[in-house]
Amino acid sequence: MRRYWLLFAQAVTVLLAAWFVVATLKPEWLSRPSLTTYSGVALVEAPTPANAPPPAGSFRQAAQRASAAVVSITASKAPPQHPQFNDPWFRFFFGDQGNQPQVGLGSGVIISPEGYLLTNNHVVDGADEIEVTLNDSRSARAKVIGTDPETDLAVLRIELDRLPVITLGNSDALQVGDQVLAIGNPFGVGQTVTSGIVSALGRNQLGINTFENFIQTDAAINPGNSGGALVDVNGQLMGINTAIYSRSGGSMGIGFAIPVSTAKQVLEGIVREGVVRRGWIGVEPADLSPDLMETFGVKARHGVLVTGVLQSGPAAQAGLRPGDVIVDVNDKPIGNVSELLTSVAALKPGARALFKVQRRDEKLELTVTPGERPRPRPAAR
């Protein structure tokens, strides 16, 4: 009997030692679903380990890194008043018409600890007051530092301490098929994160902005997302969401974002000089077509046809003529008018640039010193 008792004691000791080792090194091996009773109903719940890593395929970390720097913007402006609004008889018959301020919602991205924000120009255009609300519920009145209607970008600034700042990525490295997240405040419901892929790059000739080089994505973008962030899987800013193609007013899987490379150029120009200075050469361009090619005797198969040259302009001084086909600007191939416009605008005024031109059967290299692009006249309201 004593022998059996000793065996039992040794077995219990070994089991306890094994349990202690497992509990110390691998506690999750001992966890099991807990049984909880709610109003007499027994439920089985999975354990929730502390500091559990995100599941495979989760964008949790990217969303957490970027979301803090994405803000909601409320822009309000006074309503237009009837010329006779102060007439007591007018107000007696028609009441206080249009006395409520017009309010618009959008999003923005904090890109500097000094309080600089990027958003869309159409979000703040004409606003009398702009209120910015952070993801941590803090709010502040924003000041417009400058706008660039030709790219639909605006730079704002707020005065707050300990501002979260987004990390700027390299939008030129994006490829079709890369996963991206769109972060903003759609319909004013609060900050929302949607996911998708890069559907296309370099979208232009859409008639949205003067300068178009959009990132197209199927991540859901809705009204209120304008000015928000398009980020990669590391939470780095790739673009500023700006527009959607829609027949219903909501997302249909075709959204457009301004690349962060364009946004940085606009930001630097506005912060340093108050305006964005762009190159200009003084030509009237046209996409190649069979009729134009026959009219001008063009032999080139790609490029942009010069149909007119401004007298004494930068292009004329460099030797460009009507009928020339611009095929390359500073080693960047040109395929259509939109690409030429964007490439020339990116040139620094006063800095010489190399243009490759085909004139009938002859290939030429011309050095053009661009001037400064005239600023667009403000649209009548």
- With CA atoms as reference, report the closest residue to 179 among 238, 262, 249: 238
Q: Of the listed 67, 72, 107, 122, which one is catalytic?
A: 122
Please give, one letter per residue, the 3-state secondary structure of 31-83.
Answer: CCCEEEEECCEEEEECCCCCCCCCCCCCCHHHHHHHHCCEEEEEEEECCCCCC
Q: Of the listed 67, 148, 152, 218, which one is catalytic?
A: 152
Q: Of the listed 226, 251, 261, 338, which one is catalytic?
A: 226
Number of alpha carbons in the 13 Å side-chain half-sphere of residue 321: 8
The DSSP H or E segment spanning 224 is none
- Return all residues near 366 (Cβ < 8 A) that are at least 6 apart: 318, 319, 320, 354, 355, 357
Residue 90 has phi, psi (to 5 degrees) of -60, -45
Q: Which two tokens stand for residue 246?
A: 């829609």
Active-site annotation holds for 122: yes
Active-site annotation holds for 302: no
Residue 46: how many other CB atoms lie within 10 Å: 9
9 in helix, strand or coil?
helix
Active-site annotation holds for 82: no
Length of the chain counted residue by residue: 381
The residues annotated as belonging to the active site are 122, 152, 226
